[in-house]
Structure 1
Amino acid sequence: MKHSKPSALPQALASGFAGALVLTAIHETARRISPDAPRMDVLGMRGLRKIIDKAEAPQPNTDTLFNLTMAGDILSNGLYYSLVGRSKKAWGRGALLGLAAGIGGVVLPGPLGLGDAPSSRTPQTKLMTVAWYLLGGLAAAGASRLWSRAAKK
């Protein structure tokens, strides 16, 4: 009996969300133990507050805002990292996506009016920002390759 090739979409999404969860776990752990850790949660909450303000909707309390930000981060990063896809080039794609996100995380907050300090206050903060997004991309690539290997068995 011939097996049909499974759709690439579930693999891409699962791999992307694996990368996003790794990234979020690193950020949330490190911010509790290092004063130089990037505070992407702060950037996310600032951005969400701006969007809510533009919509003239009531501002949520801090706990709700944090939870909404975390959910939004996992969703958006998961979809972004899903671009790794199902490919023999997953490692390269994951690395490029991670580096691009990390560099963007350092360079873009200031021009977007979100402030520089959460991701750029020290050289260590900048380095961690780029490195952790790179790790998220590599985690997505690793998940994709594991899925591909398991599908061959």
Structure 2
Amino acid sequence: MKLLPSLAAGFAGAVVLTAIHETVRHLRPEDAPRMDVLGMRGLRKLLGKADLPQPDNDTLFGMTMAGDILSNGLYYSLVGSGRHALRRGALLGVAAGVGGVLLPGPLGLGEAPSNRTPQTQAMTVAWYTAGGLVAGAVAQALRKGR
């Protein structure tokens, strides 16, 4: 696995995922997944446990977006740069989407942001899958370009 192409592919998937989330939450506020809310809740919890000061909402949102792109980019970089990157991207995306629906409640972050309606659940899985597919497609394109 080549590190740079894998990271480039992973971050491409993460940027697309974040762009979808941020665009649709403005267009469909009634049922769009709010992964930003989950991220901000998680970050507030971590800062509280570390006894660090709580940032204002705008700063918290920016930190959350940066953290989302970083963590999702690293996650999607697991598609690698070898064969079957598109398939791995799809599987990673589905796994992340299902986790995004099932894990927030047990983690104490609340269920509504990703589990509010069947449409919210479907969008969560679909968008993470789209991010994985983008990562896989970019990995394949970079591999062919070598």
TM-score (norm. length: structure 2): 0.98
TM-score, normalised relative to structure 1: 0.93
Find the counterpart in structure 1 of residue 26 from structure 2. 32
Percent identity over paired residues: 67
Structure-2 separation of matches of 1:63 and 1:37: 20
Say how many residue pairs are matched.
Answer: 145
The equivalent of 2:6 in structure 1 is: 12
Identify the residue that residue 50 of structure 2 maps to in structure 1.
Answer: 55
Name stretches of at least 5 consecutive residues in structure 2 with no aligned partner: none
CA distance in 2, matches of 1:124, 1:136: 18
Does the residue aligned with 2:36 lie in a helix, a strand or coil?
helix
Check if 1:88 corresponds to 2:88: no
Question: What is aligned with 1:110?
Answer: 105
Moved over 2 A (4+): none
What per-residue deviation string (whole Å, max 9, x for no partner) do you get for residues 84-107 of structure 1? 001221011001100000000000
Compute the RMSD of aligned alpha carbons: 0.7
Q: Whose Rg is larger?
A: 1
CA distance in 2, matches of 1:149, 1:57: 46
Residue 120 of structure 2: which of 117, 125, 130 is its match? Answer: 125
Structure 1: 5+ residue runs without aligned partners?
1-6
Work out the CA distance in 1 between the residues paired with 2:101 and 2:91. Answer: 15
